[in-house]
Structure 1
């Protein structure tokens, strides 16, 4: 790995820190910005603004990779419009393509895979056979990742407002969330308000469910409205359509004493609210007293009272399996395997959810930790996270010459701050308290 191209990263300065780290290992770094938000935290090396159209992007990428002899591309999420084009191009032209994503096993891990994640993972469709050879190990991580929601609010607001005010320069940009930029920024503030305004009510709702419906609760963890896992890897066009499908099946097939709890996604608080849809459908289907909807539900405290978990392909499914709760997926999911998830239809699941084989889950957990997961975060602990990434890249670099160990000592840029703005010199901002 000699010359690297960074595309869009997680919201915030993580790619900025990653670029400085790579530079210290002697790697030439290039960064492409597709909008003003991407340029909020300038990276080490060459920063280039792409202002062309989406149809022109493939030609630009081809020329750029050849001109600068790029051998490796990194991005966050492989289904964004520009990243999907880059993925196809790299796979067909022998350029290594690595994808970051939120951790399959959260909160102390992030995901890094070559060629794609989730249903694009190189392990997708192969795990059933591979797990037979895996020896379950007790998982452990070197450091904990603390809650960082306030920090992410700041990163998101800064990113989207920068995107909005630079729209004239990037007028051809196609965003993966099709809303006005100012709505994206303010949505994170609304999400903060929604979190604290629902806390008291949902605490009472959770206790009510435990007191009166323990053992008969079916949990539905909703996904982000614009989740590519819904749009690309499921039979549903959006989350609303999946809700309609689940409620109709529950009404027609679930035992009369069972209840359904739909939990809002924490990163979608400021964007959507399905109250009207859920309660309206529940009334039409005659199940209004058996359907509940909450925002601030503590899943670890609820799992032991659940009869089953229904998800399209959320990583919450892995959390449910960890707690040995019968789970069914309605879309493509890396963990949808016999012995783990129920392989029956949704109509059958309400009546006879299939149990989770504990050893099988431990095998899956061990495999994912070894091959896809890194102890770290995109929003805090940048130095430790970059070290974890470098170690993983060494193990994945089996097809080329081994990469050297990180330069010692590794001096990362100053950590991120709510009070400090990224200077025009490209030095990182400080960490949000």
Structure 2
């Protein structure tokens, strides 16, 4: 059992979490399931003054987290991510979009030297050590991520999303994917103009809300939530045969 992928929900999956979960990856599955999705209000966030008018937001992740250790085949840590972005900027030159990076709030690694390095060596890439992640998402033209939950937040907000690692929401027609340096450089030039299939998006969110997850947060479990969790657990056990 873990935090829900959508606000106010809980995840319980017999196959595991993150990329190992049982959420289907076939876009056709979600096209046939497109239905009503509960609207989630997106709190208005003031644009931080330091942000450029147009940018792609990329959140840092914790280097030792399983999401990076297990599910990031070609970007082994955040330094590798920055190196790949700098190489892309060198190759793409002015075609490189403005890129806003932000450190992870749970990471205690000191990136002060990396911030200085980017400030002196890059025209397009900036790393911030503080700020409201939700504001960074809300004002972005697009979001790129290795496999952070920021990716599903961007999809919920109908913001174009690029996946750089292994993530369950990396679905053809819904997101762009870059699993190599060459693919990253190509995707950065296509991301803002990408047109995701709205039926796939609606179908994924409908499936997560109505079939995959348990209503309510496990941290605030009441009798109704526990009953729903038990019923869901029974279904998961039955699927194991």
- How many residue pairs align between the two structures? 229
**Retained in 2: the 8 A contact 1:225–1:272?**
no
User: Where in structure 2 are the equivalents of 1:90-109 lying within 5 Å?
Assistant: 100-105=1-6, 107-109=7-9
**Retained in 1: the 8 A contact 2:3–2:10?**
yes
Aligned to 2:215: 375
Bigger CA radius of gyration: 1
Aligned to 2:48: 206
Aligned to 2:114: 277
User: Where in structure 2 are the equivalents of 1:290-329 lying within 5 Å?
Assistant: 290-299=125-134, 301-329=135-163
Aligned to 1:198: none
> Closer, same or farther in 2 for the Cα pair 1:400/1:277, shift >3 Å?
closer
- Name which of 132, 156, 181 aligns with 2:31: 132
Output the CA distance in 2 between the equivalents of 1:205 and 1:274. 23
**Retained in 1: the 8 A contact 2:12–2:214?**
yes
Output the CA distance in 2 between the equivalents of 1:361 and 1:240. 31
Aligned to 2:204: 364
Structure 1 gap ranges (5+): 1-99, 142-202, 402-433
- Name which of 51, 59, 64 aligns with 1:226: 64
**Retained in 1: the 8 A contact 2:95–2:189?**
no
RMSD of aligned Cα (Å): 2.9
Is the counterpart of residue 123 in structure 1 residue 23 in structure 2? yes
Output the CA distance in 1 between the equivalents of 2:210 and 2:133. 28
> Closer, same or farther in 2 for the Cα pair 1:348/1:310, shift >3 Å?
same
**Retained in 1: the 8 A contact 2:89–2:96?**
no
> Closer, same or farther in 2 for the Cα pair 1:219/1:389, shift >3 Å?
same
CA shift, 1:358, in A, is 2.3
Structure 2 gap ranges (5+): none
> Closer, same or farther in 2 for the Cα pair 1:281/1:296, shift >3 Å?
closer
Aligned to 1:195: none
Output the CA distance in 2 between the equivalents of 1:131 and 1:254. 38
**Retained in 2: the 8 A contact 1:230–1:239?**
no
Aligned to 1:355: 195
User: Where in structure 2 are the equivalents of 1:332-343 lying within 5 Å?
Assistant: 332-343=166-177
**Retained in 2: the 8 A contact 1:217–1:307?**
yes
**Retained in 1: the 8 A contact 2:103–2:127?**
no
Bigger relative contact order, structure 1 or 2 (CA pairs below 8 A, ≥6 apart): 2
Output the CA distance in 1 between the equivalents of 2:20 and 2:141. 30
Output the CA distance in 2 between the equivalents of 1:264 and 1:230. 14
Aligned to 1:164: none
After TM superposition, the score normalised by the length of structure 1 is 0.47
CA shift, 1:130, in A, is 1.6
CA shift, 1:220, in A, is 0.5
> Closer, same or farther in 2 for the Cα pair 1:267/1:386, shift >3 Å?
farther
Output the CA distance in 2 between the equivalents of 1:208 and 1:239. 22
User: Where in structure 2 are the equivalents of 1:6-405 lying within 5 Å?
Assistant: 100-105=1-6, 107-124=7-24, 126-139=25-38, 206-209=48-51, 213-214=52-53, 216-235=54-73, 236-253=75-92, 255=94, 258-268=97-107, 271-283=108-120, 286-287=121-122, 290-299=125-134, 301-343=135-177, 345-353=183-191, 354-378=194-218, 380-383=219-222, 385-399=225-239
> Closer, same or farther in 2 for the Cα pair 1:250/1:385, shift >3 Å?
farther
Structure 1 window deviating more from structure 2 (380-389 vs 361-370): it is: 380-389
CA shift, 1:333, in A, is 0.7
**Retained in 2: the 8 A contact 1:220–1:311?**
yes
